Chain A
Amino acid sequence: MRPRVILGGLLAWFVASIVTASLVMVIWPGSFKLFAPVLCPDDQPDAYVVSYSMQTSDGTSTNFTLFCMGDAGQFTEVGSWIPLCLLTAAIAAGWALLVLVFATLAHLSRHHRPPIDCGGGGGGDTAAGPQDAPVRPQDAPVGPVGPQDAPTGPQDAPSGVPQQRMAT
């Protein structure tokens, strides 16, 4: 794989993780509490997320801070950044897992493509589309896809699902 593709993928992964973590934090600030077991002292196991709203020149700004509390009310302020970093890391791991699962599925389906049944049937969910569209070249030779495939061919489509068209 080309270095540019790898770099682009890593950048997309990084940005997607940060954006998702920020959205999760805004919608569900209580997600910070998930990290209390690793961030809170043993004698202060109860986690609270406190929201602070401040008036700024741009409007109202709210930030969320994780606190740990003990039985007698003694508390420690963990802050915002460490829980947010952990949340981002957890979400990045989730994205990686998701991509891995989809890539595996795509790989499996590409290498175990079922024979095309030209007589109809089995294609009920692909009925949409013009019926007279030219049938795509089927079944490119199985094997590593190399740069020789670079010209925009149908096999470069990102979908890993085998495309079937009903022949009429």
Chain B
Amino acid sequence: MRDRAGAARRVAATIAGVLALGACVGSIDRDEFDDEVRSRGGGLDGSLVSDGVDAVAQDLGVEDIEVWSVSIVPGAVTLQVRLPAQPDALDSYRYGTSGRYGGRGLSEPQPLSTNSASADMESRVFDPTAVGLDRLDEMVAEAIEAAGLAGGWASDASTTRGATPGADVVTAITVTDERRTVVVTFGSDGTLLEVTPR
């Protein structure tokens, strides 16, 4: 009887030891994952923009949407979208990959305050599919090279129309390393306009 109890204890101890030693074999923590993303360039994903635009259009039940801005971070894109039924109002949609269930998904829209923006809404909104964002992946690679930061990565990108009348829609890509930040801007045709250290 004592032998059996001893054997059971040994088995339990072995299982506990295996669980303790073996836990996390083949996995990394989130910081290591983020380091890997940065070492490859930052993870800004052009396909998220096109997929996000399609998802918002589907949610609103329209073919094309107009946006005030497009903001891209690793794994997600945020669109400030003009509402077709309420042309002086904007909703913020986030499209990205997160959550235990995985996959990509569209968040619930969040209403935005537009007290000062509504006046020139018509002249500021733009079609997100016609401002060079289909070239985002190439623009990110070009921005990292133009920034000249050793080990730098693209941390975010933002597409808006300038406030001056008739201004072009520009995409500003932020490239950073651990010490410095450089903003590289591109025109709506995807050409590099400016490299600005911050």
Contact = CB atoms under 8 A, between A and B. Distances in A.
Nearest to A33: B26
B19 A80 contact: no
Interface stretch (A66-74, A140-148, A157-165): A66-74
Contacts of A76: 97, 102-104
A55 to B, nearest CB: 15
A80 B102 contact: yes
B132 to A, nearest CB: 17
B102 to A, nearest CB: 2
A28 B44 contact: no
A147 B43 CA distance: 66
Given A50-B33, A76-B97, A66 B102 contact: yes
A125 B25 CA distance: 40
Contacts of A80: 100, 102
Given A79-B100, A79-B101, A80-B100, A73 B39 contact: yes
Contacts of A27: 18-19, 22-23, 25
A11 B100 CA distance: 27
A28 B25 contact: yes
Contacts of B25: 27-30
Interface in B122-151: 137, 140-141
Given A73-B39, A73-B41, A74-B47, A49 B103 contact: no
B29 to A, nearest CB: 6
B118 interface: no
B37 interface: yes
Given A50-B33, A79-B102, A73 B74 contact: yes
Given A33-B26, A64-B27, A77-B97, A48 B19 contact: no
A157 B44 CA distance: 63
A75 B75 contact: yes
Contacts of B43: 69, 72-75
A81 B74 contact: no
A79 B42 CA distance: 21
B1 interface: no
Interface in B71-102: 74-75, 97-102
Contacts of A64: 27
Given A27-B22, A50-B28, A50-B33, A73 B42 contact: yes
A74 B43 CA distance: 4
Nearest to A41: B47
A66 B103 CA distance: 11
Nearest to B97: A77
Given A29-B24, A76-B102, A77-B99, 12 more contacts: A28-B22, A32-B26, A49-B26, A49-B28, A50-B28, A65-B100, A69-B36, A69-B40, A76-B97, A76-B103, A77-B102, A81-B102
Interface of A: 26-33, 43, 48-53, 62-67, 69-82
Q: Which 3 A-B pairs have the closest CB atoms?
A: A30-B26, A79-B102, A73-B40
